[in-house]
Chains A and B, each alone.
Chain A
Amino acid sequence: MTFILAAAADAETAGGLSGIFTKFGVTWPFFIAQLINFVLVLFVLKKFAIGPIQGLLDKRRQRIEDGEAKLVEIEEKLAQSEKEKAALLEAANADAKRLITEAKDSAATLTEQKTQEAVAQAQNIITKAEEAARAERATMAAELKQEFGRLVVATTSQVTGKTLDENDQRRISDEAVATMQN
């Protein structure tokens, strides 16, 4: 049917197992040489090719795994840090709000206080000004009375043609002033 089958069958009829080996060219020298060849090639490949590359691949795989683990760790730390940052910001925000409120309260109090002071000061100034005006008015009224008395004395002296003594002058002046007050 086929070449190999025919060869095997021929060999079987020709000389049994050794006939099959002979037919297919299986000989100890060739077989042992091929065996040594194969083992040596495998050894060399393991030592110089597959071994180093496999080692490098393992090393790289390990590095990637380590990197992944570190990445997870970093992500966890980042999340924790974000959480802490949010908490800090919230606290800072609350502090700021409190400070602003306090500042507003303080400012309102200060404003009220200053307003009160200003009002008091203004009141004081007004009072002082009124006192000063009153004093000045009194002074002016006194001076006016004195001037009015002197004028009445002078007028009386001229109208009467008399020289008025000091007592008369004082009496006329006082009477004139008393009239003015009335």
Chain B
Amino acid sequence: MASIFRFLLIVSAVLTASVLPAAAAGAGHKLPLYPESPFEDVLGGIFSWVSNSMIMVWIAAGIIILFCRAATKELKMVPAGFQNFAEWLIESLYSFFGNILGDHLVKRTFWFFGGTFLLILIVNYLGLFPGVGTFWMGDEHGNHKYLLRGGNADINMTAAMSLTFFGLWLYWSFTEIGTKGFFAHIFAPKGDFGGVMRIGMVVIFFIVGLLEVLSIFIRPLALSFRLFGNIYGGEQTLEKLMALTPKSLAFLPALPFYFVELLVGLVQAVVFTLLCAVFLRLMCDHGDEEHH
């Protein structure tokens, strides 16, 4: 089993690496691959579980919650201001996911897809702010740790999101199509066959089912590494480009890529949630049709 996971990790890493910008491949990067705990030595290490990327997620969550509180403070039938914008945002996302999931599933699962999309988007954009990946705390040994790090440039965060989805995907799938339907969807032969053909198809579809199970287990890994790789690669790109010129002009080569990163931040939020929605739809397709 461990070897399967090793294989999956390497496959995911290769897939992720193929989409990273070439600049990220340069040697001598400053931003480490892993998150750090800037408060590890504070108060005897009681905050050692707080990573610099986690702080960014908190800030993003705080911004979203404050915005939502302002938008939903006094909900009116005729919207205005913040409420108008929030409604436009939620309605657009609802319609987008509704087209993929169908009316029944989107009503049940939108809280996850909408919330995840907003969180990924805001976390990605916050990672582009000056200070993220530059402010650091040092100790007496000359070591330094960055105070802030892009939230999705931490595999722990992306893994937490993809594994939460994986758990919810299992729950939604079983409750929508039942245990029998779940396994039938994976292993049962599709089409109407008889005689020897039927036996052959049972064997073939069983093997296909095993591959499907493998792909199901790859999904959370692929989701995690795809998002992590794109965001971390983007940060590396910006960092490397800034190192190409004297410090006074460091912003210049990176400037066009900031616009690219704005697009990447949005695209990655869409890709993550879109793939999750597609995975759910593929499994619950039959169940959803029955509801109609």
A residues contacting B by CB (< 8 A) are 1-5, 7-9, 12, 16-17, 20, 23-27, 29-35, 37-42, 44-46, 48-54, 56-57, 59-60, 63
Instruction: Using known A-B contacts A50-B110, A51-B111, determine if residue A20 contacts B9 with beta carbons closer than 8 Å.
Output: yes
| Interchain Cβ contacts under 8 Å between A and B, 16 examples | A3-B17, A3-B233, A4-B17, A4-B225, A17-B5, A23-B33, A25-B155, A34-B51, A37-B61, A38-B160, A41-B119, A45-B119, A49-B71, A52-B75, A54-B94, A56-B87
> Which B residues between 100 and 120 are near A, CB-CB below 8 angstroms?
110-112, 114-116, 118-119
Given A7-B33, A37-B58, also A46-B161 (CB < 8 A):
no
Q: Tell me, rounded to whole Å, the shortest Cβ–Cβ distance linking A7 to chain B.
A: 6
- Given contacts A27-B156, A31-B159, 10 further A-B pairs with CB under 8 A are A1-B17, A20-B9, A30-B54, A42-B111, A42-B115, A42-B116, A49-B72, A54-B111, A56-B77, A57-B91
CB within 8 Å for A37 and B57 given contacts A3-B236, A45-B65, A53-B71? yes
A23-B33, A31-B160, A34-B154 known; A48 vs B68 contact (CB < 8 Å): yes
Q: Tell whether, in the assembled complex, residue A7 and residue B13 are in contact, meaning their CB atoms are under 8 Å apart.
A: yes
Q: Which residues of B contact A12 (CB under 8 A)?
A: 6, 10
Q: Report yes or no: A52 in contact with B72, Cβ–Cβ below 8 A.
A: yes
Query: How far, in whole Å, are A50 and B69 apart by their CA atoms in the complex?
Result: 11
Query: Contact partner of B115 among A2, A7, A46, A52, CB < 8 A?
Result: A46
Which bracket fits the contact residues of B? 35 or more
Question: Please, how many angstroms separate the alpha-carbon atoms of A38 and B156 in the complex?
Answer: 11
A37 to chain B, nearest CB (A): 5
Complex CA gap A45/B29 in Å reads 36
Instruction: Convert B31-48 into 0s and 1s, putting 1 for each residue whose CB lies closer than 8 angstroms to a CB of A.
Output: 011110100000000001
Q: A53 contacts B160, CB within 8 Å?
A: no
Q: How far, in angstroms, from A128 to B49 measured CA to CA in the complex?
A: 140
Q: CA–CA, A45 to B18, complex, Å?
A: 34
A26 touches B110 (CB 8 A): no
- The CA-CA distance from A53 to B236 in the complex, in Å, is 38
Q: Are A41 and B115 in contact (CB under 8 A)?
A: yes
Expressed in whole angstroms, the Cα–Cα distance for A166 and B235 within the complex equals 172
Nearest residue (CB) in B for A4 is B17
With A8-B10, A34-B160 as contacts: A2 and B33 at CB distance below 8 Å: no
Are A53 and B87 in contact (CB-based, < 8 A)? Answer: yes
B260 at the interface (CB under 8 A from A): no
Q: Are B156 and A26 within 8 A (Cβ)?
A: yes
Q: Are A9 and B10 in contact, with the CB atoms below 8 A?
A: yes
**CB proximity of A137 to chain B, nearest CB, Å:** 106
B1-25 with Cβ < 8 A to chain A: 2, 5-6, 9-10, 13-14, 16-18, 20, 24-25
| Interface residue? B271 (CB, 8 A) | no
Closest chain B residue, CB of each to CB of A44: B65
Query: Which positions 52-102 of chain B face chain A at CB distance < 8 Å?
Result: 53-54, 57-58, 61, 64-65, 67-69, 71-72, 75, 77, 86-87, 90-91, 94
A12 to B236, CA, bound (A): 23
